[in-house]
Each structure stands twice: as C-alpha cells, then as structure tokens.
Amino acid sequence: MPSMKPVKITNTVLRDGHQSLAATRMSTEQMLPIVSLLDKIGFYSLETWGGATIDSCLRFLGENPFDRLDTLKKLAPNTPHQMLLRGQNIVQYTSFPDDVVEAFVACSAKHGMNIFRIFDALNDTRNLVTCINAVHKAGQHAQGTICYTISPVHTLEAFVNLGIELEKLGCDSICIKDMAGLISPSTTGALVKALKEKVKIPIVIHTHSTVGYGPAAYYAAIENGIDAVDCSMVPFANGTGQPDLLLTLAMLDNSDRKPDYDLSDFPKIREHLETVYKELSAFTSPKNEKTDADILQYQVPGGMLSNFRNQLKEQNMSDRLDDVLKEIPYVRQCLGWIPLVTPTSQIVGTQAMLNVKFGRWKMFSQPAMDIALNKYGRPPGPVDPEVLKLAIEKTGQQPVNCRPADLLEPRMPKLKAELREKGFDDSDENAVLWAMFPNELTKVLKGEKPAPVAKPTAASDAAKAAVGRKYVLNIDGARHEVVVEEAK
C-alpha cells in the first residue's frame, strides 16, 4: 500500500531555485531576510548549499562559501540543511582523491550540513562510496541518487537495480534526480511503485518544470507513496526551476498526504523574493520561465539552460542556441548515452558548442575526451568507436578500467603546503576549496571585490526589518561575515 502519511517537502529556493533561474547569483545578503521565516514553516529540509553555489560564491560574489553555510545555519537552526554533492567530483568537474573528498564532507558537516544528496553523473556507484562513508563518519544523512534520463540503455529495470545497489551501499534514502524535467507522470508512478517494492529506505523525487511535467509527476509520485519532493518558491520556481510550493500544496487539497505547514509568513517571503528576482534581472530570462516540450528532444537540465544562455551570449553565439541544442543529443550518444547533469551537462554542452562553431570533433575538449576514456567512470552505454579512437590518438592514453579515483594520489598535505607557501591559512576548509578553485579562493582571501551583483533596495530593507532580527553585514575585503543579533 502506498504511504498515506503527509509527504515531506524540501525547499530549494536558496540553492537550485536561483541556480536554475538566475544563474546561481543570489548572494547571502539577499537571502538573509527570509532564512528565519523559512525555518519556521516546518520543511523536511532546506537546500542551502552545494551544486554550483560554492563556485558562484567564490567566482562571482566574493564570498567564502563556508561563511555562507555558517550564516544560514545560524538563521535556520531547526530545519535540516541539505546540499548537492557530485560524488568524487565534490562540486567541481573532475575527480578528486579520496582524502580531499573526505575532508570536504567533514568540513561541510562541521559547518552544519545534515543531508548530503550524493550523485554521480554517470550513475557509476563506485564514485559514491567514499562520500557515503565520509557522511556516515560525520554522523549525517547520506542520500544516494538515481540520475534519471531517457536513452536505450536507461530502462525501468536498470533504475530499480540502481536503487537496490544504493540501499546495499548503506544510503539512508534515495533520490530520483530528474535534472532536465524529463520524467513523465506515468513513468514517475511506475518507477516509484517499483522502487517501493524493492527497497525499504525513504525515496525522494527532484524534478524541474522545464518540459511542463513537473507538477503532474509530483502528483503521480505522491499517489504512489513517495516520501518527499523538492519544491521552490515563485519567482524562483517553475520553468527551468522546481515546481512551486503553493502549486504542489494546492494539488493535494483534500488529500491525506498534504502537509500542514505554517504559511503565515509566506507573503513576506514572496515579497522579498520578488525584489531579489528584480535585482538579479541581468541573470534571469523570460525563456527560463516558460515550459518547452522541445527539451524532451535535447534533455538539457534547467540549471544548465539558465547558465548556458549566458555563456553563449559571452561567446557571441546567442543566435546559435537552437543549433547547439540540436547537437547535444548527438554528442551525448557518442559519449555513451551519459545522463546530462553536472559536470556532464556542461561538458556535453561545451562540446556541442565547439562542434557547431568549428565542425564536429574538430575541436575536442579535454573533459569530453576524458569521458570517452572513462576518466569520469563507466558510461552507461558504449562510446562511439571513432570518437574513442580520436580521443586515444589525441591523448596517447588508453581507457581507464578501474575506479578513476584509485589512480589519484592523496593531496591534502600538498594543498596545505601550497596554502602556507602563499601566506594563507592552511585550514581544511581552505585546502578543499584550494583543490577546486585556487584562483577564485585567492581573490576572496586577498579581499578582492567583484563587481556588485545588485544594489539592495528599500524593499529588501523592509523585509529585513520584518524578520525581527538585526543583520549587520561586515565586509572584510569581499568576504561576507554576518553577525546576527536577536532583537532586544
């Protein structure tokens, strides 16, 4: 029998909501007025970190991402905090040694992270084991992930077997991660039902409304006993983002599965989010706010679309977007029917752009060659023989046959030595960020300020006052250090 308990909801507005609709540009300062209000509602969790937010904090906002996590945890101490972790890639586009992965997880837990949603872009579970064990060592919740996609090799049976394997690896829950919004309501119901029959741990679903399936897929999942769903909040919802919270709740009217949330502060939250969306207008697009069934052909994730339009604009290729999108399925098939999720979505998208600009495989990116050579793990299907041959010729290397991280030497001692040599503190936090973003971290540690994303408005100040707390934002260089004082 499907569960009749109220469905749990993870709120994604502080992470995937703005990643998918505003190129991950929401700053900590822009989040401050609503964090405590979100904490009062009673969500299963708040997605506050991970994914592209760590890169964006350093690269575009001049923030230390661990400072952001400290701040959000202090403002929302009652709701579990959740992050998206790219397995052995951590939050970057390449594999890292086990000691770096373990240190990153330990630091994240120390700064308040509770639920780690761990995925591998190829669904290669060998790339999840180190993270799962590290999360458990830190005493936190390891959520294994099934990256959903559509291809000849991605069958219902294959997804269910993956779920069984994740449970055997010790995951505390499983997430069906539909990064491109491709899962139809009928498929959702069938997959949730099949997983529920085979595994005992809770099952969560994450989707986007890119195609238009999102709300109906959630309803089908809930009817078939899903334990939790991911929702965002308008205007950082729908389109390339997650389905809207209020819409999801409205669909469950008169249902035993409708959760009883305290939404008394919702108007304040909505008003502030509308203000922030306007402040981030340089990074939003009406095209991201719409549903587009053509995505069923291209299978491009919501977060990628938002960022990809910006990237093509920077390359003076905005008029070639349709050509690049049409090239993506071809590149994906050649690289073994890999799912499109960070980092593979960016790698495939970049290669598609290069193919359109220079001709197919005339400019073969190193990351795309690495996928062909199994450096990211086992692709779900066979790599095109001609593409593999070209990768071998260009690199002089043969495909990797073991877990890629087994070939990597420990790096933490070396990373700490490099930090000391540069005159920086050699904390574990700095070391793991240095491993992934050395140039960006250098600028933050030196206090170099990027151009401001947006100018705070009077509406922002009013929303802050409504929270009932005082926020003092002390900026040391470009590093946000927030002192939060209870109202006297």
Express each pLDDT in 362-395 by its tens digit: 999 999 999 999 999 999 999 999 999 999 999 9
* pLDDT value of position 452: 64
Query: The tokens of 381 are what?
Result: 């299907």
Contacts of 364 (CB under 8 A, 6+ apart): 351, 354, 390, 391, 394
> pLDDT category, 463, cuts 50, 70, 90?
very low
CB atoms < 10 A from the CB of 154, how many?
18
> pLDDT category, 290, cuts 50, 70, 90?
confident
Please report whether residue 311 resides in a domain: no
Domain coverage including residue 111: 1-294+366-488
CA angle 101, 345, 386 (to 5 degrees): 105
The whole-number average pLDDT for the span 123-149 is 97
For all residues of the chain together, what is the average pLDDT? 90
CB atoms < 10 A from the CB of 453, how many?
19
Number of domains in the chain: 1
CB-based contacts of 481-484 (< 8 A; 24+ apart in sequence)? 481/67, 482/28, 482/29, 482/32, 482/67, 482/71, 482/74, 484/71, 484/74, 484/75
DSSP, collapsed to helix, strand or coil, labels residue 148 as coil
Task: Kindly give the pairing relationship between strand 115-118 and strand 479-486.
Answer: unpaired
The whole-number average pLDDT for the span 398-420 is 97
Query: The tokens of 258 are what?
Result: 């409708």
The whole-number average pLDDT for the span 278-284 is 95
What is the helix (H) or strand (E) element at residue 229, kind and residue range? strand 228-231
Lowest mean pLDDT among 186-195, 207-216, 452-461: 452-461
User: How far is residue 110's CA from residue 105's CA, in Å, rounded to a whole number?
Assistant: 9
Residue 149's Cα: distance from chain center in Å? 16
DSSP, collapsed to helix, strand or coil, labels residue 316 as coil
Q: Which of 147, 116, 64 is nearest to 342 (CA)?
A: 147
User: How far is residue 251's CA from residue 487's CA, in Å, rounded to a whole number?
Assistant: 38
CATH of the domain at 403: 3.20.20.70
Please report whether residue 309 resides in a domain: no
pLDDT tops 70 at residue 280: yes
Please report whether residue 89 resides in a domain: yes
pLDDT tops 90 at residue 485: no
Please report whether residue 357 resides in a domain: no
Please report whether residue 339 resides in a domain: no
DSSP, collapsed to helix, strand or coil, labels residue 117 as strand
* pLDDT value of position 301: 67
> pLDDT category, 478, cuts 50, 70, 90?
very low
Query: The tokens of 325 are what?
Result: 């999108």
> pLDDT category, 152, cuts 50, 70, 90?
very high
pLDDT tops 80 at residue 466: no
Please report whether residue 338 resides in a domain: no
Q: Are 124 and 378 in contact (CB under 8 A)?
A: yes
* pLDDT value of position 471: 38
* pLDDT value of position 342: 78
E strands along 18-156, which residues?
A: 45-50, 81-85, 115-118, 141-147
Q: Are 480 and 71 in contact (CB under 8 A)?
A: yes
pLDDT tops 50 at residue 458: no
The whole-number average pLDDT for the span 195-224 is 97
pLDDT tops 70 at residue 479: no
Query: The tokens of 132 are what?
Result: 């799962």
The whole-number average pLDDT for the span 45-50 is 98
Helix residue ranges per DSSP H, 224-301: 245-251, 266-279, 295-298
Of the chain, the end-to-end C-alpha distance in Å amounts to: 51
Please report whether residue 314 resides in a domain: no
455 phi/psi in degrees, rounded to 5: -95, 125
> pLDDT category, 295, cuts 50, 70, 90?
confident
**Burial of 456 from C-beta contacts in 10 A (0-12 / 13-18 / 19+):** middle
Please report whether residue 361 resides in a domain: no
